[in-house]
């Protein structure tokens, strides 16, 4: 099933705009994806037709809104093959989900416990755990990475012990595009009774993870990376874990009964959903999943693999260009530098040509330190990008090289 | 020349180029000619915290005039710094503290002035002005 890119591009109004007088070439999809008209319409429709607060009204609008929001939760559940819909916590995004879990483990972790974090994590999957360690006296150990941008699995095995309580790893690295062997990592962690949280922020726009089969304990992601709006995301937690963790924030929606003496908490998932949520965002998250499933993840993966291969080949023809991360298991992310040229300069020239890439450390400073570089230029492709856009990138990089050296 | 005159001069100089590529090429040339900072001052203490490229700035007071030297690891940033140094260096603290920086916009480099651009330029201008204010305060004592 080949994918009809021309038709798909028609769904994305932003792809028609120009930047600095040039047609936009959007290659910063790992930072956030663009939104199809279907998702935009869904948000407009909610605010135009049935905006109301959810879970509390007896009136029709409130019931319609509640149904739409809860049906989005069911779509998330089905998409990720999650056992129960109450194991789906709708959060404001990946960062929120990680902080919720890290905060919850404060009462579980003890002095001497260990947590393992991979060397290629996003800052949002490092800092909350450091804070947890400060609160509890637990110790954080780092699973090292190898030159090719993969995790050192032998070192991982050696780090696991009876003291290991938690393992955190991203499904796909945002800086390098490496797909980590999470199934294997989860199995090994479970042999030691350690729980695993997988940061799926980068993964879910490229692959459709089967969480039941993975047997992962926690999985987090952000809708904005997969054609949905910002400010909404998912935390999946196994029921037994979500029951054990204390609530994260107090407020409305998350209670069963409140007196000044004592509050009893609502059942899952509401226990973790204090306050009025991002209702439009939640509903549109569901619409985004419908949209992507309409195209099909197999078609997306196949198409993006073609783009990655073509872009890698073409970029490597440029003398002095180095790509970081060469794992055979990768998604369509290319992190590169030109010899003796700062990534910021390259990004500036590309922007002048209407090409949007990310430059810098990509919130993964430890990865940059590993390669001893200040940052990289990162081009990340989505299923709506084309080979012609790859050609424009390559031409742009050549032009930047000519101007900057 | 006064700061305002130097700014006019730069505006005229950049007006010679009509497309962005030539402007940037000129900027890069200016960056290459930047009076380099003494390596002894390329320390953490002299770094201006910008998000991406590193910028070092040092200032001294010489016969009532502020002399700036600077460097950056990104060449476009260096070009912008060179422009700023050409305008500000060698003037009195009062003049620097009061000068405006709208000329950056006029010469067509407005994007670098955006506070959202995280390239440290805005903090760089702020730091130059802070140096000027500090020298002003010193002179009053
Ligand atoms: C791997 C990874 N983890 C976490 C995040 C943070 O996601 P958010 O800012 O949506 O919470 C990102 C976003 O760039 C990411 O790439």
pLDDT tens digits for range A190-206: 999 999 999 999 999 99
Domain range list for chain B: 3-140
**Can you tell me the distance from the alpha carbon of A102 to that of A112, in angstroms, rounded to the nearest whole number?**
17
Q: What are phi and psi of A111, to 5 degrees?
A: -50, 135
- Which residues in A lie closer than 8 A to residue B74 (C-beta atoms)? 342, 344-345
Strand partners, A58: none
CATH class of A40-293: alpha beta
DSSP 3-state assignment of A367? helix
Q: Is the pLDDT score of B51 beyond 70? A: no
DSSP 3-state assignment of A82? coil
Q: What is the mean pLDDT of chain A?
A: 95
End-to-end CA distance of chain B: 28
A21, A343, A345, A364: best mutation site toward chain B, by most B Cβ within 10 Å? Answer: A345
**Can you tell me the distance from the alpha carbon of A378 to that of A323, in angstroms, rounded to the nearest whole number?**
10
Structure confidence at residue A167 (pLDDT): 97
Burial of B1 (0-12, 13-18, 19+ CB in 10 A): exposed
- Which residues in A lie closer than 8 A to residue B76 (C-beta atoms)? 344-345, 348-349, 404
**Contact check, Cβ <8 Å, B53/A349:** no
Give the mean model confidence (pLDDT) for residues B75-93.
92
**Can you tell me the distance from the alpha carbon of A260 to that of A252, in angstroms, rounded to the nearest whole number?**
14
Q: Which of B51, B62, B100, B116 is catalytic?
A: B51
The reply to whether CATH 3.90.1010.10 applies to domain B3-140 is: yes
What number does CATH give the domain A5-30+296-404?
3.90.1150.10
- The yes-or-no answer on residue B134 being catalytic is no
Listed as ranges, residues in chain A with pLDDT below 50 are none
Question: Can you say how many angstroms the Cα of residue A36 is from the centroid of all Cα atoms in its chain?
Answer: 18
Q: How far are the Cα atoms of A131, A172, A211, A239, A299 from residue A207, in angstroms, in the given order? A: 31, 10, 12, 24, 10
Nearest CA in chain B to A358: B52
| Best of A202, A209, A333 for a ligand 1 pocket test (most atoms within 8 Å of beta carbon) | A202
Say yes or no: ipTM exceeds 0.95: no
pLDDT tens digits for range A116-134: 999 999 888 889 999 999 9
Q: Does residue A269 have a cis peptide bond before it, meaning omega lies within 30 degrees of 0? A: yes
- Which residues in B lie closer than 8 A to residue A351 (C-beta atoms)? 111
Q: Is the pLDDT score of B36 beyond 80? A: no
């Amino acid at each position: 099933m080949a994918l009809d890119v021309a038709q798909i591009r028609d769904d994305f109004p932003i792809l028609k705009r120009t930047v600095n007088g040039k047609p936009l070439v959007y290659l910063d999809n790992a930072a956030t994806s663009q939104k199809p008209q279907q998702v935009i319409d869904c948000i407009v429709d909610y605010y135009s037709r049935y905006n109301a607060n959810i879970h509390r009204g007896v009136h029709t609008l409130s019931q319609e809104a509640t149904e739409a929001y809860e049906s989005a939760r069911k779509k998330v559940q089905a998409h990720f093959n999650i056992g129960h819909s109450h194991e789906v916590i709708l959060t404001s995004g990946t960062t929120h989900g990680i902080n919720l879990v890290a905060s919850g483990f404060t009462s579980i972790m003890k002095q001497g416990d260990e947590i393992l974090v991979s060397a290629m994590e996003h800052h949002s999957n490092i800092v909350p755990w450091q804070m947890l360690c400060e609160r509890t006296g637990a110790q954080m150990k780092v699973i090292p990475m190898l030159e090719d941008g993969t995790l050192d699995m032998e070192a991982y095995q050696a780090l696991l012990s009876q003291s290991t309580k938690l393992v955190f790893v991203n499904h796909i690295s945002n800086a390098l595009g490496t797909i980590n062997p999470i199934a294997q990592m989860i199995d090994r962690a479970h042999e030691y009774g350690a729980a695993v949280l997988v940061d799926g922020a980068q993964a879910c726009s490229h692959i459709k993870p089967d969480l039941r089969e993975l047997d992962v304990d926690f999985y987090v992601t952000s809708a904005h990376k997969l054609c949905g709006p910002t400010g909404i995301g998912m935390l999946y937690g196994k029921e037994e874990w979500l029951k054990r963790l204390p609530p994260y924030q107090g407020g409305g929606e998350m209670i069963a009964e409140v007196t000044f003496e004592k509050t009893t908490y609502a059942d899952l998932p509401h226990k973790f959903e204090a306050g009025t949520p991002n209702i439009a965002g939640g509903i549109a998250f569901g619409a985004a999943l419908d949209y992507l499933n309409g195209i099909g993840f197999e078609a997306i993966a196949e198409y993006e693999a073609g783009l990655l291969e073509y872009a890698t080949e073409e970029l490597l023809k440029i003398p002095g260009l180095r790509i970081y991360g060469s794992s055979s298991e990768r998604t369509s992310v290319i992190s590169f530098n030109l010899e003796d040229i700062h990534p910021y300069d390259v990004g500036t020239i590309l922007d002048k040509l209407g090409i949007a890439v990310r430059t810098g450390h990509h919130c993964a400073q430890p990865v940059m330190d590993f390669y001893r570089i200040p940052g990289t230029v990162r081009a990340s492709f989505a299923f709506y990008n084309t080979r012609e856009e790859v050609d424009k990138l390559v031409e742009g990089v050549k032009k930047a090289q000519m101007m900057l050296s | 020349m006064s700061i305002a005159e130097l700014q006019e001069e730069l505006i005229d100089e950049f007006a010679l180029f009509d497309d962005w590529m030539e402007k940037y090429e000129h900027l890069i040339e200016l960056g290459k000619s930047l009076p380099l900072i003494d390596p002894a001052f390329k320390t953490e203490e002299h770094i201006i915290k910008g998000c991406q490229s590193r910028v070092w700035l040092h200032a001294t007071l010489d016969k009532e005039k502020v002399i700036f030297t600077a460097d950056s690891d990104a060449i476009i940033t260096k070009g912008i710094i060179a422009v700023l140094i050409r305008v500000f260096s060698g003037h009195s603290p009062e003049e620097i503290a009061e000068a405006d920086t709208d000329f950056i916009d006029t010469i067509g480099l407005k994007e670098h002035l955006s506070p959202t651009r995280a390239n440290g330029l805005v903090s760089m201008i702020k730091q130059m002005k802070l140096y000027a204010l500090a020298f002003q305060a010193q002179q009053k004592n």
